[in-house]
Amino acid sequence: MVHDFNPRTLSYWVINKTGFEIGGPSPTTWGELGIYEAATNVDVTNFASTTLWEKKLIDNSPFIWKSRRKGTQYIRDAVNLNGITDNSYDFVFGSHALEHIANPIKALLEWLRILRSGGLILLILPFKAKTFDHNRAIVTIEHLLSDYRDQVDESDLSHLDEIVRLHDLTMDPPAVLVLGGIGYWVVLVLVGIGIGIGIGIGWYWYWYWYWVLVLGIGIGIGTGIGIGFGIGIGIGIGIGIGYWYWVLVLGIGIGIGTGIGIGIKYVKLNNLKSHI
């Protein structure tokens, strides 16, 4: 086992080696850590051709990293790497993948099967206290062994009630939980109100068109968490100069701005496996 307290030096351990990634690619983790550049070849696998993070993957197609082929893209379940030969990789790695697998011991044994003697398994796993599952108890080794002996797979829903009941939505606002078709009201940031400055055309009592600077207030509607963007028409008062004296003019302008608002939206999740 390698204990590396500086994650950015992890790439040292895979220089000129061949790797196999579970659930990749992961540009914001392994990519930032230089794993793809350091290795000579990296093959990746996903459990389906369409996932939340990628679309229209093709089995046995090229895996492209930074405009060049780095390896092969496979469509395989993490617990059944069918067609991948034994002892064929120097390292196996995955970012936030193992904790989503119903039978982790079966997965680890499968990863060891394709790993050469003396190889490495590199895993990035969540810190429980900082996740939306922090209210749930840690699974015991005995439970994991029981799942392995019983050949539990992804169709197992024995923990569904616990997941729904203890899921901390305050740490996972986009999550949509549904059981038996019943949804939940979730507070999301939906409306952004922006105040911007625009140029308006003013009119004063000499019937002369005059340009003035006016404020425009815009309201933008979003569908998720974040900063709302608004474009709207606002009416403002401007001061203009008319022949040697000041006059009060009325102008109409367009303002563009950003802001944060709060809204409520009814949402529900049809695929628990994709989000939990």
Counted domains in the chain? 3
pLDDT for the residue numbered 51: 80
Q: Determine the Cα–Cα distance for residues 66 and 171; give it in Å rounded to an integer.
A: 33
Token pair recorded at residue 197: 């400055």
162 and 245 part of one domain: no
Q: What angle do CA 24, 74, 160 make, to 5 degrees?
A: 60
The pLDDT assigned to 23 comes to 92
Residue 228 burial class via C-beta count within 10 angstroms: exposed 0-12, middle 13-18, buried 19 and up? buried
Instruction: Examine the domain organization and report whether 11 and 120 are in the same domain.
Output: yes
Q: Are residues 239 and 149 in the same domain?
A: no
| C-alpha distances out from residue 3 to 13, 127, 272, Å | 11, 17, 34
pLDDT at 3: 56
Domain that holds residue 57: 7-125
Clarify whether residues 206 and 181 are in a common domain. no
pLDDT at 255: 53
**Are 21 and 108 in a shared domain?**
yes
Query: Do 21 and 104 belong together in one domain?
Result: yes
Handedness of CA 51, 56, 62, 67 (dihedral sign): negative
Nearest Cα neighbor of 255 from 230, 223, 224, 220 is 230
| 178 and 198 inside one domain | no
Element (H, E) at 25: none
Is 92 inside a domain boundary?
yes
Average pLDDT by stretches of 10, the chain with 276 residues: 65 95 91 94 93 86 94 96 96 94 96 96 91 92 95 90 84 53 39 49 46 46 43 47 45 50 45 38
State the Cα–Cα distance between residues 208 and 197, nearest whole angstrom: 23
H helices of the chain, in order, are 35-38, 104-114, 141-149, 160-166, 272-275
pLDDT of residue 178: 37
Q: Classify residue 103: in a domain, yes or no.
A: yes
Distance, CA of 26 to CA of 65 (rounded, Å): 11
Q: How far apart are CA 171 and CA 179, in angstroms?
A: 20
Q: Does the residue 145 lie in any domain?
A: yes
